[in-house]
Amino acid sequence: MPLPPAQVTTDDPAEMLQRRPDIRAAERTLAARTAQIGQAEAARFLKVTLMGLIGIGGTSPSDLTHLDGYSAIIAPQLSWNFLDFGHNKSRVEQPRADRD
């Protein structure tokens, strides 16, 4: 039967806690919940989306090589829920409560 080692090494308790898989999973869950709060906060602000359209015109396939047959449109789209009557605030508070 093998003998135990003469001296047992003990690690720093903080290091041991950082290596535990349940502690690591809890840290990742906390980070995900905190990110959800950031997403809800970002939804409260103005959102700008760029929309574009490219068109090709002509009556024959050889018209595709002419640059005067192309047209392009770029337009911004703005969306903002400023008359939400507290819905956006509650959308932020719910992830905060989940995190806490």
What pLDDT is recorded for position 7? 81
What pLDDT is recorded for position 85? 76
User: What number is the average pLDDT over the span 3-15?
Assistant: 80
Per-residue pLDDT reduced to its tens digit, 34-80: 999 999 888 888 899 999 998 887 778 877 777 777 888 999 999 88
* Average pLDDT for the chain: 86
SS (HEC) of the chain: CCCCCCCCCCCCHHHHHHHCHHHHHHHHHHHHHHHHHHHHHHCCCCEEEEEEEEEECCCCHHHHHCHHHEEEEEEEEEECCCCCCCHHHHHHHHHHHHHC
The model's confidence at residue 5, banded by pLDDT at 50, 70 and 90, is confident
Per-residue pLDDT reduced to its tens digit, 16-34: 888 889 999 999 999 999 9
The model's confidence at residue 14, banded by pLDDT at 50, 70 and 90, is confident
